[in-house]
Structure 1
């Protein structure tokens, strides 16, 4: 599963009233190898708690999404 799908599952756990430990246990049971880390779950819960119900990641400063590599030919 990709990051977007896991954020939806984390939101589901939040809306069902599970705490972060219960959410991590539930995700580990079904997605043992690919489940998000506990810190990821802890990052999403406050967003949902403060009514930011979008499961999309926000914009971040830093490197652009697209990078152009210029090659110098000798």
Structure 2
């Protein structure tokens, strides 16, 4: 079972914005970088693997109805 993270609202909002941009075909470098910076900071602060945090964040935003 994947690890469940307690993501802060601002990080969820960043990923939601990025997902919306991806779906619209207009993801910006700035949005993508902001998400990556947030993921890296969250992972470092909580002692988690960055990749696992990124996958968990995507799952939380993109598949919220399944959670």
TM range (shorter): 0.3 to 0.5
TM-score normalised by the chain length of structure 1: 0.36
Report 1 or 2 for greater relative contact order, CA contacts < 8 Å, sequence distance ≥ 6: 2
Greater gyration radius: 1
